[in-house]
Amino acid sequence: MKYNSIDPKLYANNRSRFIKKMKANSIAIFHAHPQLPENGDAHYAFKQNSEVVWLCGMIQEKTMVILYPDNLDPNYREVLVILRPNELLEKWEGHKWTKEEAKKMTGMKTVIYLDQLDAMLHAWIHQADSIYLDTNENDRTDTSLPRIDLLFVHDLMKRYPLHHYERSAVIMKELRAIKTKEEIAILQEAVDITHKALLRVCKFIKPGVFEHEIEAEITHEFIRNRATRHAYGCILASGDNARILHYVENNQACKNGDLILMDFGAEYGNYCADLTRTIPVNGKFTKRQKEIYDACLAVHLHAKKILKPGKTWLEITESAEIEMNKQLLKIGLLSKEDLKNESPDNRACRKYFYHGLGHHLGIDVHDIGTRNTPIKEGMVFTIEPGIYVEQEKIGIRIENNFWVTKSGNIDLFSKMPITTEEIEKAMKK
């Protein structure tokens, strides 16, 4: 791992939080993601199961976390399962975690090798009444595709058909949505690295620079600051490309007079930052560009002001859409007739603002959490309104990350240039 060591108390606390939600005499099993084959004998870059990360921080294939708080043998109430180190395998793939290293990193006292697991797990399951199994229940999951996470589930249910089965995801959705101070400290590192990358490219961008060259500058800054990777596919959309929400080609030249929408974030310590800024290629907003940008910023600040415990994300979105209507009317993109003819489930602003206001953020960029239950202290959201004008070939989006407090929120990107004046100042050579 590139990032600095993380205090294992973070993971111990997470395990404790989950155990408190478990039913009596139940066992929970969390399975690592497999290494997925690409072409030939190659593999896609390994990305660990987020639940395993949250529980132990272990980024290694074939890792498992088993929680059985009522196990008659106290030595096996929290068990970490890892690959047995293999001299030949390490010659090809590098170092694999030893038991002592794994104990130190995760804070788990009992570590066993994967080749020891079957017999031990068989006995534990026979003692237990219920089994918690882990599946991907993110609301955005594409369930039409074959689900690798279900292979283990189906196998276990076939072997032990008379047990009661529970969904770990229900508990995880509640717990992972509430970030502890320790988690926020790591997320802030990802945010700070992302901040540095923005300042770097603000001084780099000029007419004639290609989008992929900007991506290279961002990547350079991420890696030199110990980020693991980009948190998601880097979006660098100049000119009319900015109206494509998930534009990832990043292969066009940035033209004088155009804006460039940049949506990127660093992953540090397995937590993701998520930033969007739209800046002028030549360092100076035109009057019209500033007008549209300021309208978008007004909606961003409106949502920030009302983000607090007690409201639902859907309520905040509705309020932001009403504010967006006002701003679009003010800059001539909507008419009073447009507002008169709208409906609550299809606001007039949707012609120019056609995506969600934001999402939960954490180990996953689109982190798990609900949208229609009251927001709670400790949650982290992105706020990212956008205005996309086809006839003017302009796309503007502004995004920061917010940690919800007892009475409001904290902007984790508070030091980041956000107004047109601050952006122009940051772009001066």
Residue recorded with tokens 């240039």:
417
Across the range 54-67, mean pLDDT stands at 96
Helix then strand then coil, % of the chain, to nearest 5: 40, 20, 40
Q: What is the mean pLDDT of residues 81-88?
A: 92
Please tell me the predicted confidence (pLDDT) of residue 46: 86
* This model's pTM is above 0.85: yes
Q: Answer whether residue 4 is part of any domain.
A: no
CB 44 within 8 A of CB 36: yes
> Residue 127 and residue 161: Cα distance in Å, rounded?
14
What pLDDT is recorded for position 204?
98
Shared-domain flag, residues 336 and 197: yes
Mean pLDDT for the stretch of residues 339-349: 94
Domain assignment present for 2? no
The three-state secondary structure class of 232 is coil
Q: Which of 176, 199, 226 is the last residue of a domain?
A: 176
Residues 393 and 286 grouped into a single domain = yes
Would you say 33 and 49 are in contact if contact means Cβ atoms under 8 Å apart? yes
Share of the chain above pLDDT 70, in %: 100
The pLDDT, as a whole number, for residue 418 is 98
pLDDT at 212: 98
Residue 232's pLDDT is: 97
Between 137 and 134, residue with greater pLDDT: 134
- Picking from 176, 199, 220, the residue at the C-terminal end of a domain is 176
pLDDT at 237: 98
Domain span at 74? 9-176
pLDDT on residue 429: 65
Residue 320: what pLDDT? Answer: 98
Residues 77 and 207 placed together within one structural domain of the fold: no
Average pLDDT over residues 391-409: 97
Specify the number of domains making up the chain. Answer: 2
CB contact set of 186 (below 8 Å; sequence gap of 6+): 6, 10, 268, 269, 270, 271
Long-range contacts of 377-381 (CB under 8 A, 24+ apart): 377/178, 377/309, 377/404, 377/405, 377/406, 378/177, 378/178, 378/179, 378/180, 378/403, 378/404, 379/177, 379/178, 379/179, 379/403, 379/404, 380/179, 380/184, 380/187, 380/404, 380/412, 381/307, 381/313
Q: Does residue 268 sit within a domain?
A: yes
Q: What's the chain's average pLDDT?
A: 96
Mean pLDDT of 409-417: 97
- Does residue 187 carry a pLDDT above 70? yes
So what's the pLDDT on residue 241?
A: 98
Task: Compare 45 and 220 and report the one with higher pLDDT.
Answer: 220
CA dist., res. 293 & res. 346, Å (int): 23
Q: What's the confidence (pLDDT) of residue 141? A: 81
Residue 267 has pLDDT above 70, yes or no: yes
